[in-house]
Amino acid sequence: MIDKLIFGRYVPGESLIHKLDARTKLLAGIYFIGILFLANNLVSNVLLVLFTLFTMMLTGIKLTAFMKGIRPLIWLILFTVMMQVLFTIGGTVYFTWGPVAVSSFGLIKGTYIFIRFILIIMMSTLVMLTTTPMDLMRAIEYWLYPFKYINVPVQDVALMVSVALRFVPTLVEETEKIMKAQQARGVEFGVGNLFQQMKSVVPIFIPLFVSSFNRAEDLANAMEARGYQGGNQRTKFHILHWHLLDGATLMLFLLITMVLVMLRTT
């Protein structure tokens, strides 16, 4: 069950994309989602699809890994697309039934939305698969830095998020372990009615909470023992570096934006 999640997974590699600075990847990833909405015709959509495919190929990661990112969301995507297809009116109408109408506009809009969804998932999966969670965290911290001036404790938030990220796999492992131990004691998951199913998670959640409390206490003690006092008095061990490649990537994205704006039809 948990194996199937792609979230937070890093696939080591030596590709160009892997070498990019995490800050570039994060910014470009978010920026890409923004410019997706500029594309409103066939040519610009094809361009974006080709661009995404090209970057995916660059990572050297198998296509099946990306597909796994789509799988959990496929029903949401299909639902949204169906809504668009069935309830958009305009253009040539092929079929009507009460308020439901399949029209050429609806089909086109549905297709674009479908493409948008897939590209968003592909790009975010790509950023996630090629960046270690810790680097991603450092990137988030960097981009959050300006908020310091409106009294947001950026370093503390960054610390909490990085501790949380660090413990995701540990907790997943712990959950699996406890699940197995309880299964060995006769618990069956996913059987029976809703109430029984809810009851069967109690023997997982309580031990998991207890162990999280213990873990938090141990970690806090260990941090204090090593001189952690919180606040902004710390220096950084990992320092991210911009390279020429990062600049080039950002330029490329600006170029794509310009092309998309030019291709826009009203």
Partner 1 sequence: MDITFEKVGYCYQKNSPFETRALTNVNVTFKEGSYSAIIGHTGSGKSTLIQHLNALLQPTEGTLIIGERKIVAGVKQKKLRDLRKHVGVVFQFPEAQLFEETVEKDICFGPLNFGISDEEARKRARKVIREVGLSEDILTRSPFELSGGQMRRVAIAGVLAMEPDVLVLDEPTAGLDPSGRTEIMEMFHKLHKEKGLTTILVTHSMEDAARYAEQIILMKKGTVIQTATPREIFTKTEQLLELGLLVPDVVRFQHEFEQKFQVKLKTTCLTIEELITAITPYLKNGGGE
In angstroms, the CA 35 to CA 253 distance is 9
According to the binding rule CB under 8 A, does residue 211 interact with partner 1? yes
Selected binder of partner 1 within 50, 82, 181, 222 (CB under 8 A): 181
Within 13 A of 95's CA, how many CA atoms are on the CB side? 7
What is the CB neighbour count within 10 angstroms for residue 67?
14
Which residue number, 89 or 202, has a Cβ lying nearer to partner 1?
202
According to the binding rule CB under 8 A, does residue 184 interact with partner 1? yes
Please report how close the Cβ of residue 129 comes to partner 1 at its closest, in angstroms: 8
Selected binder of partner 1 within 47, 65, 107, 120 (CB under 8 A): 65
For residue 101, list its beta bridge partners.
96
According to the binding rule CB under 8 A, does residue 35 interact with partner 1? no
- CA angle centred on 232, ends 230 and 235, rounded to 5°: 100
According to the binding rule CB under 8 A, does residue 224 interact with partner 1? no
Helices (H), the chain: 16-19, 22-36, 42-59, 63-70, 74-87, 104-130, 133-144, 154-184, 194-199, 202-225, 244-263
- Considering only residues 2 to 31 of the shown chain, the ones binding partner 1 according to CB under 8 A are 3, 9, 11
Judge whether 14 and 239 are in contact, CB under 8 Å. Answer: no
According to the binding rule CB under 8 A, does residue 203 interact with partner 1? yes
- CA angle centred on 76, ends 66 and 27, rounded to 5°: 50
Which residue number, 153 or 203, has a Cβ lying nearer to partner 1?
203
For residue 96, list its beta bridge partners.
101
Task: Taking each helix axis as running N to C, give the angle between helix 154-184 and helix 133-144, from 0 to 180 degrees, rounded to the nearest 10.
Answer: 150
Please report how close the Cβ of residue 205 comes to partner 1 at its closest, in angstroms: 8
Question: 101: part of which helix (H) or strand (E)?
Answer: strand 100-103
Judge whether 123 and 32 are in contact, CB under 8 Å. Answer: yes
In angstroms, the CA 29 to CA 95 distance is 39
According to the binding rule CB under 8 A, does residue 62 interact with partner 1? yes
Which residue number, 9 or 166, has a Cβ lying nearer to partner 1?
9
According to the binding rule CB under 8 A, does residue 186 interact with partner 1? yes
Which one of 42-50, 102-110, 147-155, 199-207 is the stretch in contact with partner 1 (CB under 8 A)? 199-207
Please report how close the Cβ of residue 6 comes to partner 1 at its closest, in angstroms: 9
According to the binding rule CB under 8 A, does residue 236 interact with partner 1? no
Which residue number, 111 or 211, has a Cβ lying nearer to partner 1?
211
Which one of 85-93, 145-153, 201-209, 221-229 is the stretch in contact with partner 1 (CB under 8 A)? 201-209
According to the binding rule CB under 8 A, does residue 61 interact with partner 1? yes
| Site of interaction with partner 1 (CB under 8 A) | 3, 9, 11, 61-62, 64-65, 68, 174, 177-178, 180-188, 202-203, 206-207, 210-211
